[in-house]
Structures are given as C-alpha cells and as structure tokens.
Amino acid sequence: VRAAAARALARGIRHDARRRRTVPAPRARADAAGRLGFGAVAAALAVCLLFGLAWFRFEQPVETTYRTAMGDLRAIPLADGSRITLSSDSTVRVSLGRRERHVVLDRGEAFFDVAKDRSRPFVIVAGERRVRVVGTRFAVRRGGEAGVGLRVIVTQGLVQLESGPGADGRARASTLLPP
C-alpha cells in the first residue's frame, strides 16, 4: 500500500487510507490554480494596457460649434474651466485636446476668460492669425465682411499674436500684447 501511495503521490495523487479513496494532492491542486490565476491576471493586464495605449494614442478631440444670432450674446463655459462670451452674429469652433485647447473664430467677436494650464496652451485661430495664451482675459474680433483684419484687446495677462506665413512662405515674427 505504501509503494502504491508513493507512486500516486509522485503523480500528484494522494491516497487517503482512512476513507479508502484516492484524491488529488493539495500541492498539485494549488499549483494548477496558481498557474490558472496568474494567466488570467496577465491576460487581463495585457488587454487593459492595449486599450489604454490605443485610447491615449488615437483619441481625437471632439469639435463643437457655437453660434449666436444677430443681437444675441452667449456665455459658454468650457470643460477646462475657461469661458467664452460670444458676441452678436458670431461663430466659433472649439476642441479641447490633451496637448492644446483650440478655438477657431470663424466670424464675429468673442471674449475669452482662459483658465491657466501651462501644459495645454489655448490657441485661437482667426483667418491666418493665431492668438496663443496660457491663462488670461482678452477679446478677439475678426473684422470686415470678407473676414479680413483682426483686433485683439487684452484686459489681463499676456497674449502672443502670431501672423500667418508671408508671401515668401516664411513664418512672420510674433508679437506679445500686454493689457
């Protein structure tokens, strides 16, 4: 009986003499459960890592368009804590990304109260000009019927005004506008 029990134990099976039956050895059962548990945890971590990397790499910010009719005034709170006050007969497109907060002023005038976030500058594009800030208060007006001309009025902070490329294709120097 002892020899049979020793052979069974070597194969991962234990003989219980009191109950007269053969049962799996506790160690073999624990090893199998441990291997199965470790594999499941590793697979779950791999799936989470894969989805996390895909989300981080391929997330595209959603662009939202805001408009006002002639004679209207609209206050727009943004998810980052900034606020846009859209003047009469104006249109802006807003997208808040991980690296940049981007606004396109298609028409009219808007007042911006920008929340500070050094890792994500706030950029307003109006025609071929760009206004870049981190945290400040200012107004931007895109002028004329043809959308030509730009007026920036700074009430607090510092604003960087960048022009589009010149006739030769080179970038023009930017201007810092104080209040």
Query: Residue 112: what pLDDT?
Result: 94
Q: Which residues contact 157 (CB under 8 A, 6 or more apart)?
A: 114, 133, 135, 136, 137, 138, 179
Query: Residue 143: what pLDDT?
Result: 75
pTM: 0.60
Query: Residue 175: what pLDDT?
Result: 74
Query: Residue 153: what pLDDT?
Result: 84
Query: Residue 25: what pLDDT?
Result: 52
Query: Residue 170: what pLDDT?
Result: 64
Burial class of residue 157 (count of CB atoms within 10 Å of its CB; 0-12, 13-18, 19+): middle
Q: What gap in Å lies between CA 160 and CA 75, rounded to an integer?
A: 24
Query: Residue 147: what pLDDT?
Result: 47
Mean pLDDT by 10 residues, the chain (179 residues): 60 54 54 62 78 61 92 94 95 92 94 91 89 84 68 84 70 69
Distances (CA, A) of 25 to 2, 32, 35, 160, 169: 15, 11, 16, 74, 79
Q: Which residues contact 24 (CB under 8 A, 6 or more apart)?
A: 12, 13, 14
Query: Residue 70: what pLDDT?
Result: 94
